[in-house]
Structure 1
Amino acid sequence: MEEGKANSTPEFTIQAQSTPSNFQKIVAEFIGTYILIFLGCGAALVNKAQPLTIVGIAIVWGLVLMAAIYTLGHISGAHFNPAVTIALAAAHKFPWIHVPMFVLSQLLGATLASLTLRVLFNDQHSLRAIITVHSPPTTDLEALTWEFIISFVLMFTISGVTTDHRASKGPSGVAIGAALLVNVMVAGPITGASMNPARSFGPAIVAGIYSKLWIFIVAPVLGALAATMVYSVLRVPMPEKSEGTKRVYNHLGLQVEP
Structure 2
Amino acid sequence: MKKYISEFIGTFILVFAGTGAIVINDFSGGAITHPGIAIVFGLVVMAMIYSLGDLSGAHLNPAVTIAFLSRKEISPRDSLGYIIFQVLGGVSSSFLLKTIFPENTSLGMTLPSISPGGAFIFEVLLTFILMFVILHVATGAKEKGFMAGVAIGGTVCLEAMFAGPVTGASMNPARSIAPALAAGDLTHLWIYIIAPVAGALLAVAVNSYLKEE
Answer yes or no: same fold by TM over 0.5.
Answer: yes
Q: Secondary structure at the match of 2:189?
A: coil
Q: Secondary structure at the match of 2:54?
A: helix
**CA–CA distance in 2 between the matches of 1:61 and 1:50?**
19
Amino acid at match of 1:169: G
Runs of 4+ in 1 over 4 A off after TM superposition: none
Partner of 1:175: 151
Partner of 2:133: 157
Partner of 2:7: 29
Q: What RMSD, in angstroms, separates the aligned Cα atoms of the two structures? A: 1.8
Q: CA deviation at 1:134?
A: 1.0
Asked if 1:211 corresponds to 2:153, the answer is: no
Q: CA deviation at 1:97?
A: 2.2
Partner of 1:102: 82
Per-residue Cα deviation, 1:103-155 (whole angstroms, up to 9, x for no partner)? 000000000000010111122xx1415111112xx111100011001101111
Per-residue Cα deviation, 1:43-71 (whole angstroms, up to 9, x for no partner)? 00111114222110000000010000000
**CA–CA distance in 1 between the matches of 2:153 and 2:44?**
8
**CA–CA distance in 1 between the matches of 2:48 and 2:203?**
22
Counterparts of 1:42-191 in structure 2, within 5 Å, are 42-48=20-26, 49-51=28-30, 52-123=32-103, 126-135=104-113, 138-163=114-139, 169-191=145-167
The alignment covers a number of residue pairs equal to 210
Q: Which of 38, 43, 66 is residue 16 of structure 2 equivalent to?
A: 38
**CA–CA distance in 1 between the matches of 2:81 and 2:29?**
38
Partner of 1:250: none
Amino acid at match of 1:195: M
Per-residue Cα deviation, 1:196-216 (whole angstroms, up to 9, x for no partner)? 000110111111100111000
Partner of 2:177: 201
Identify which of structures 1 and 2 has the higher relative contact order when contacts are C-alpha pairs closer than 8 Å and 6+ apart.
2
**CA–CA distance in 2 between the matches of 1:88 and 1:97?**
13
Structure 1: tracts of 5 or more residues without a match: 1-22, 238-258
Larger mean Cα displacement after TM superposition, 48-57 or 61-70? 48-57
Q: Secondary structure at the match of 1:130?
A: coil
Report percent identity of matched pairs: 45
User: Which protein shows a greater Rg?
Assistant: 1
When normalised by structure 2's length, the TM-score is 0.94
**CA–CA distance in 2 between the matches of 1:178 and 1:234?**
23
Amino acid at match of 1:76: S
Q: CA deviation at 1:170?
A: 1.4
Q: CA deviation at 1:236?
A: 6.6
Alignment check: 8 A CA contact 1:45 1:127 kept: no
Amino acid at match of 1:143: A
Structure 2: tracts of 5 or more residues without a match: none
Partner of 2:208: 232
